[in-house]
């Protein structure tokens, strides 16, 4: 089986479209998929991969639900999954992160998603591809999941850093989508779209450039980094940005600000 990079370029994926154990998952809007998609890609509705317990968004479905979802898509231990979307990678990365949490590590993100593929002049399809169901087995990797309790217990731990992937207005507390505004105390701000090239189909910026920006912000490679946003959608992209930039100990906070900002016993910081 070929070795695929974690970040796969459109031209590289084009060469592997007919690979037997490659599964391409499209997380674009349904109408986008119907109009044009990567040949052979299977459409998946992002809402199925997150659990909502209002006001908390972005929770992880239980193991039984994950088995049902991933089995229905035809994912098993032999399958390498390439995910993409139409927003730069947030939905695709949350899908990948959930798969990784469930123990599946054969994953790639299509750099720039459908826009990068289409604007590279590569073939597009309007024919819907249907999955061949398989048997998925979960082997939970809890090491990549941060909980509210974990963060509270480590707020004063110098070996744990928090990375806030939301907009600067949300981080400052001037834009509020929960009972409380602001950020988790000590969190470093790095908006998820700051890692994207807005002049190149929202492809990821050069990794060395991203790495330097993170280091300049004080994000330490020797520490555990917890990425969060409002529902671990945007921060799932940041999770893989960190991974590609060489960070080894990374967690995603599934409940993110929708949980922290609505919980009565959490501390927050604001910027004036």
Alpha helices in the chain (DSSP H): 10-15, 30-35, 63-72, 90-101, 113-119, 148-153, 168-172, 207-216, 234-244, 256-260
Taking the C-alpha atoms of residue 110 and residue 41, their distance in angstroms, rounded to an integer, is 12
Determine what percent of the chain falls in helix, strand and coil, rounding each to the nearest 5.
35, 20, 50
Taking the C-alpha atoms of residue 246 and residue 11, their distance in angstroms, rounded to an integer, is 24
Residue count (the chain): 272
Sort strands 51-53 and 56-59 into parallel, antiparallel or unpaired. antiparallel
Taking the C-alpha atoms of residue 109 and residue 25, their distance in angstroms, rounded to an integer, is 10
229 is annotated as an active-site residue: yes
The first and second tokens of residue 95, run together, are 């899908």
The first and second tokens of residue 242, run together, are 């960190």
> Among the options 28, 93, 203, 229, which is catalytic?
229
Catalytic residues: 229
């Amino acid at each position: 089986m070929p070795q695929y990079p974690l970040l796969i370029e459109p031209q590289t994926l084009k060469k592997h479209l007919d690979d037997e154990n490659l599964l391409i998952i499209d997380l674009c809007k349904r109408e986008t998929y119907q109009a044009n998609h990567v040949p052979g890609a299977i459409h998946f509705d992002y809402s199925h991969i997150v659990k909502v317990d209002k006001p908390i968004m972005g929770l992880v479905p239980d193991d039984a639900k994950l088995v049902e979802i991933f089995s229905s898509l035809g994912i098993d231990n032999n399958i390498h999954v390439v995910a993409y979307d139409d927003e730069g990678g947030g939905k695709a990365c949350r899908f990948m992160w959930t798969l990784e949490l469930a123990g599946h590590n054969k994953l790639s993100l299509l750099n720039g998603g459908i826009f990068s593929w289409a604007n590279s002049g590569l073939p597009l399809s309007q024919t819907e591809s249907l999955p061949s169901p398989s048997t998925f087995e979960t082997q939970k990797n809890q090491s990549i999941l941060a909980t509210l309790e974990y963060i509270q217990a480590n707020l004063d731990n110098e070996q744990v850093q928090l990375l806030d992937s939301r907009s600067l207005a949300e981080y400052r507390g001037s834009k509020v989508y929960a009972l409380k505004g602001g950020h988790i105390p000590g969190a470093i701000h790095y908006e998820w779209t700051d890692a994207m090239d807005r002049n190149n189909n929202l492809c990821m910026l050069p990794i060395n450039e991203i790495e330097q920006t993170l280091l300049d912000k004080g994000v330490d490679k020797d520490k555990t980094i917890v990425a969060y946003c409002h529902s671990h959608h945007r921060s799932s992209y940041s999770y893989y940005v960190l991974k590609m930039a060489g960070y080894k100990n990374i967690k995603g906070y599934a409940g993110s600000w929708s949980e922290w900002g609505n919980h009565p016993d959490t501390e927050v910081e604001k910027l004036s």
